[in-house]
A and B are shown apart, each in its own frame.
Chain A
Amino acid sequence: MTPLDLPSSDTTPRVSYDAGASTLLFEGESYPENVSQFYEPVFVWLRDFLAEKPAFKVVLAFSYLNTSSTKVLLDLLLQLDDYHRTGGKIEVEWHYRPALEVMQEAGEEFGEDLSLPYRLVAI
């Protein structure tokens, strides 16, 4: 499997896969100038990864998402939802700080569009 470890920048989150913990992590802010360009390698990696039928967890620990990023993230989550509905073992956690109600709300709204195991975790 190809490793995935994109370091964070001012406008993009860290995106990394920890094979030991079977966890795909997104952490930080997301408001890149070109959102499709930033997330393209993640989608490519994910397509190859899902073909191996892994059991894994996704942790979404965003501290801010602009609207174009929420659109791309929903596309990604819907792919994971398809994986779940075709028998793939996956769970998703949305991590948020309780002081940031907007981020809690964002997490709840993604959950409403998904059927895969999904939970909000206050950090």
Chain B
Amino acid sequence: MTPELLHAHYLAMREQRLVLSFMGIVTQEIMVEYGKLIQAQEGLSENNRLILFGTFIELTQNILRYSAERSGSSENSRGIGIVLVSEQDDTFTVSSGNLVTTRAAAALAGQLAHLCTLDRDALKQLHKERRRAGPPEGSVGAGLGLIEVCRRAAAPPAYTLLPENNETVFFSLSVPIAKGLLS
């Protein structure tokens, strides 16, 4: 990357009030260290800081486990992706992006469209049922995590599924978390 491009990237990220960002091979170690930064983040209640941390962990583990872009041998491979935390006036937002297969994208689109129509009580109920029953037939695996993420979000998460080619789709998700401070 040229210094000029890096500067443009820096300005864009500053404009977004970036708290942290990572792009590359997601390892458990990286997740733990970034998680520690979030656990030390100021400007939100202790409870909401745990929600922010939990959302970061779920989205990062999704990249690690399910990204279609991977590094390493199949058994110990790590997912590649991007994860950001940014700040707004009343929220922090955790955003994640990674490639998924076209088949997984279809399942994700269906699942997220459904989850975004449910209110908090319905999400709580679904979480309980799914936890007891295990993942549904043909699940891409992240069932419980996405339900929990939607349930704790300040508003339904925004997501996009942008086809890269016939086999892969770029999946991105942005989850706002309330600061939970008394105004």
Taking Cβ atoms with an 8 Å cutoff, the residues of A that contact B are 10-11, 31, 33, 64, 66-68, 70-71, 74, 99-103, 109, 112-113
Contact = CB atoms under 8 A, between A and B. Distances in A.
Nearest to A33: B28
Given A33-B64, A71-B131, A100 B54 contact: no
Interface of B: 28, 32, 45-47, 50-51, 53-54, 57-58, 61, 64, 124, 128, 131-132, 134, 144-145, 147-148, 152
Contact of B58 (A66, A99, A103): A66
20 contacts: A10-B32, A11-B32, A31-B57, A31-B61, A64-B53, A66-B57, A67-B144, A67-B145, A67-B148, A68-B144, A68-B145, A70-B144, A71-B131, A99-B46, A100-B47, A100-B50, A101-B47, A102-B47, A112-B128, A113-B132
Interface of B: prevailing SS: helix
Contacts of B144: 67-68, 70-71
Contacts, number: 50
Contacts of B51: 102
B28 A11 contact: yes
Contacts of A74: 131-132
A75 B20 CA distance: 35
A82 B149 CA distance: 31
Contacts of A102: 47, 50-51, 54, 152
A67 B141 CA distance: 12
A99 B134 CA distance: 31
Contact of A99 (B32, B47, B57): B47
Contacts of B134: 71
B6 to A, nearest CB: 31
A14 to B, nearest CB: 17
Of A70, A71, A109, chain B has the most CB atoms within 10 Å of the CB of: A71
Contact of B128 (A10, A31, A109): A109
Contacts of B145: 66-68
A94 B124 CA distance: 19
Contacts of B47: 99-102
B32 to A, nearest CB: 5
A54 B152 CA distance: 39
B124 to A, nearest CB: 8
